[in-house]
Structure 1
Amino acid sequence: MLSVNMVTIDCVDLEPMVEFWTQALQTEVAVDWGDFVILRGEPAVGLQRVEEVMPGKNRLHLDLSGGDRAPEVARLVELGGDVVRTHDVDDFGWTVMVDPAGNEFCVSDPHGTGDDGAGSQEQGETAQDDTEARDRHADEVADQTPEERAAGDAAAAQAARDDAAADER
């Protein structure tokens, strides 16, 4: 059985990407081979220097979660990320962001943790609901054109900056 042990991000300018992702994931560099850096974690994140990035939409992106979404998004904006758009479907929400090199990734609300002490049938229903919400998310992201993704950029980025400013007060 295969398992994912690392996800690699291609980047032209390696150093700012290493800085962003170590802070974003609150981790450290595990291995630095000059043109290829591996960050500590499961799965690990690799950052690989390339001559040029492939144009167009990412064919793969990270989905991150782990706490309240709004403060995490604000923190990532402060680190140099940018908000593309925000989605809320039923009880599942996520924010599409880009790192400093323009690679898309998502930050979602925590879900499917089973920490509420519910019975196994209820946990199974929650897991099914979460799977359906993630499937809707994947379908929506895949169906977006670059123009559609760009349409909400300014408003979503301003909302994240406003949230960050409100948190500072």
Structure 2
Amino acid sequence: MAVSLYQLAVDAHDAKGLATFWARVLDWRLVYEDPEEVIIGADENALPGIVFLTVPEAKAGKNRLHIDLAPDDQAAEVERIIGLGARRVDVGQGDDVSWAVLADPEGNEFCVLRPKKSLLD
């Protein structure tokens, strides 16, 4: 039996707003939208995508699953993403880590890593 990753699902109070934020962060586009869900992807045929699902409740607690971003220039990307609506957050990571922890406009934590030389760094 074969399986592949199709998409990540993210609960959101404002699905379109959060999808738009993440599309800007990743330089992706909205590929599907209805009142209950908005899907973003590199294009209509690229996998995986991210689907933002409308839910009535706000986020509660620290995420158990989060996105890690690998930029060419960490400092520049952190500032660009903050300019899009993210904010720095402290999840107990300490001051001596090589990554920056941010939260999207609905409070979902994610990390911007230091630049990678290869996928195994």
TM-score of the superposition, structure 2-length normalised?
0.81
In 1: Cα distance, 2:6 partner to 2:77 partner: 24
Question: Is 1:20 the counterpart of 2:25 in the alignment?
Answer: no
* Alignment match, 2:33: 32
> Residue deviations 1:26-76, cap 9 Å, x none?
110111122111101342111111011352111211111131110000000
Paired residues, what number? 113
Q: Which stretches in structure 1 are left out of the alignment for 5+ residues?
A: 115-126, 131-169
Which aligned runs of 4 or more in structure 1 are off by greater than 6 angstroms? none
> Residue deviations 1:80-126, cap 9 Å, x none?
0001257655xxx2111000000001111122417xxxxxxxxxxxx
* Secondary structure at 1:17 match in 2: helix
Tell whether the 8 Å contact from 2:9 to 2:53 is kept in structure 1 after alignment.
yes
* Secondary structure at 1:67 match in 2: coil
Structure 1 position 17, deviation (Å): 0.9
* Alignment match, 1:9: 10
Question: Is 1:106 the counterpart of 2:111 in the alignment?
Answer: yes
Q: Does 1 or 2 have the higher relative contact order (CA < 8 Å, sep 6+)?
A: 2
* Secondary structure at 1:47 match in 2: strand
Tell whether the 8 Å contact from 2:19 to 2:39 is kept in structure 1 after alignment.
no
In 2: Cα distance, 1:49 partner to 1:62 partner: 19
Closer, same or farther in 2 for the Cα pair 1:30/1:69, shift >3 Å? Answer: same
The code of the aligned residue for 2:16 comes to: E
* Secondary structure at 2:21 match in 1: helix
TM-score of the superposition, structure 1-length normalised?
0.60
Q: Which stretches in structure 2 are left out of the alignment for 5+ residues?
A: none
The code of the aligned residue for 2:73 comes to: D
Select between 101-110 and 14-23 the one with higher mean Cα deviation.
14-23
Q: How does 1:11-160 map to 2 (within 5 A)?
A: 11-41=12-42, 42-85=47-90, 88-89=96-97, 93-113=98-118, 127=120, 130=121
Tell whether the 8 Å contact from 2:88 to 2:100 is kept in structure 1 after alignment.
yes
